[in-house]
Amino acid sequence: MASTASLSAPVEIRRGVPPLRAGKGHSFLLRRLHSLSGIVPVGLFLIEHFVSNAFATRGPGAYTKQVELLSGFPFVFYLELFGIWLPILYHALYGFYIWYWGESNVTDYPWAGNFMFTAQRWTGGVAFFYMVWHTWHLRFSGVHLLTNPGAAFGKVQNEFQHPWAVAFYAVGILCTSWHFAYGLWLFAAKWGITTGDGARRKFGYICFAIGLLFVVIGGLTMLSFLKTPLQPMNVGSGVESLAVR
């Protein structure tokens, strides 16, 4: 039976790293939604986006077929709106809100958790500006790719004509890969999937490998666009409009 003394003993509350607390009070639901949206659907979309673009490593023909497949989905507008644009917008805007209101104690407690805490915010912020620039150029200006998939390979190559654009793509790949990989780790810790230091450390290695895999796939994809002779931006429905297969 517990003695009165042990019941009244002061409980020592360890100071934790803020990201492992998934919000409290009225922010709980919005914070949980932010956490979940990073995996479903935004994380899933990121995986699909890297895989689809990796078809460029198999040449302009394979890449065009993949763009055709994606643009041929029924209700593609609504799929994009509710499956991609709105969730990314929510995750990004609420992410900036968390960043603005949350305190970063990186200088007081210079241990790995705090560095990762800060890096998660900066990589998210850079990814946001990268995504705005990237989608404006490839999706909302110039040749319309949903109706002209045959122009996709050439349009990306056209982007890569400027060294600053190539550098920004590399930064975009690095930031999104890092953010998603560490995001997986945070998600698993917050939702009670990894409990205890040992499990978190092991999952940390797995997340690091996942992040590295994203960087390698993204890098190889970029190389394919850079190494292939410049393709014309064919206006047409698909593979049959391509000069090189």
Interface stretch with ligand HEM, choices 7-15, 33-41, 159-167, 234-242 (CB under 6 A): 33-41
Q: What are phi and psi of 24, to 5 degrees?
A: -145, 165
Q: Quick check: 38 binds ligand HEM (CB under 6 A)?
A: yes
User: What minimum distance in Å lies between the beta carbon of 31 and ligand HEM?
Assistant: 7
Q: Which of 90, 99, 133, 208 binds ligand HEM (CB under 6 A)?
A: 99
Q: Is the dihedral of CA 22, 28, 34, 40 positive or negative?
A: positive
Q: Measure CA 231 to chain center.
A: 28
The token duo for 186 is 């945070």
Q: Quick check: 155 binds ligand HEM (CB under 6 A)?
A: no
The token duo for 131 is 């995504």
Nearer to ligand HEM, 143 or 206 (CB): 206
What is the C-alpha to C-alpha distance for residues 133 and 172, in angstroms, rounded to an integer? 10
What is the C-alpha to C-alpha distance for residues 9 and 149, in angstroms, rounded to an integer? 69
Q: How many CB atoms are located within 10 Å of the residue 17 CB?
A: 16
Q: Quick check: 42 binds ligand HEM (CB under 6 A)?
A: yes
Interface stretch with ligand HEM, choices 75-83, 118-126, 217-225, 228-236 (CB under 6 A): 118-126
Q: Quick check: 124 binds ligand HEM (CB under 6 A)?
A: yes
User: What minimum distance in Å lies between the beta carbon of 230 and ligand HEM?
Assistant: 29
Q: Which of 90, 96, 203, 208 binds ligand HEM (CB under 6 A)?
A: 96
Exposure string over 121-136, b if 16+ CB within 10 A, otherwise e: bebbbbbbebeeebee
Binding site for ligand HEM (CB under 6 A): 19, 35, 38-39, 42-43, 46, 91-92, 95-96, 98-99, 120-121, 124-125, 127-128, 176, 179-180, 183-184, 186-187, 190
